[in-house]
Amino acid sequence: MHALLPAAELLNALLAGFLLAFTVVVMPGLRSLPDRDYLRAFQQIDGVIQRGAPLFAVVWLGSAVSLVAAAVIALLGSYGEARWLLAGAAVARLVGVQLPTMAISITLNHRLQAADLDTLEDGAVAELRAAFEPRWNRWNVTRTWVACVIAAVLASLP
């Protein structure tokens, strides 16, 4: 448990920072771009992740695995009230970050990656952006808040 908790704290703080950067810098920065440029820029950013950015994978998967493992160990041991905070943080990570990522963000990302922006008419590009941007941003804000709360909870543990 001693090694897992600092790893979970660090990786979940990094995850919260990653999501926060998208919420407060990346997506607002892309917002002012014309539709085709916005979608192409997002395709490129997401493409880096989909091609297997190793550090991103360590943070994303490691944050979940280390937190769930720390929570299981805490629940099986005698770690007092911290075990319930860890268990709650693990559930929040899976339900509030992982689930919307898998069900919404990745689905939207794949739909966008499949689009050939060079062949689409302007109207179709505008429709694609309208179907993508508000929903992706709304769920990213949700994931960001959940990840930030998790990081704060983990930082508060003894």
pLDDT in tens, the chain (158 residues): 578 999 999 999 999 999 999 999 999 999 999 999 999 999 999 999 988 889 999 999 999 999 999 999 999 987 788 899 999 999 999 999 999 999 999 999 999 999 999 999 999 999 999 999 999 999 999 999 999 999 999 999 88
For the chain, how big is the Rg over CA atoms in Å? 18
- The residue with tokens 């949700």 is 142
CA angle 71, 150, 45 (to 5 degrees): 115
Q: Is 94 left (phi over 0), alpha (psi -120 to 50) or beta?
A: alpha
Q: What pLDDT was estimated at residue 1?
A: 57
| pTM: predicted TM-score of the whole model, two decimal places | 0.92
Structure confidence at residue 79 (pLDDT): 75
Q: Supply the pLDDT for residue 158.
A: 80
Distance (Å, rounded) from C-alpha 100 to C-alpha 154? Answer: 21
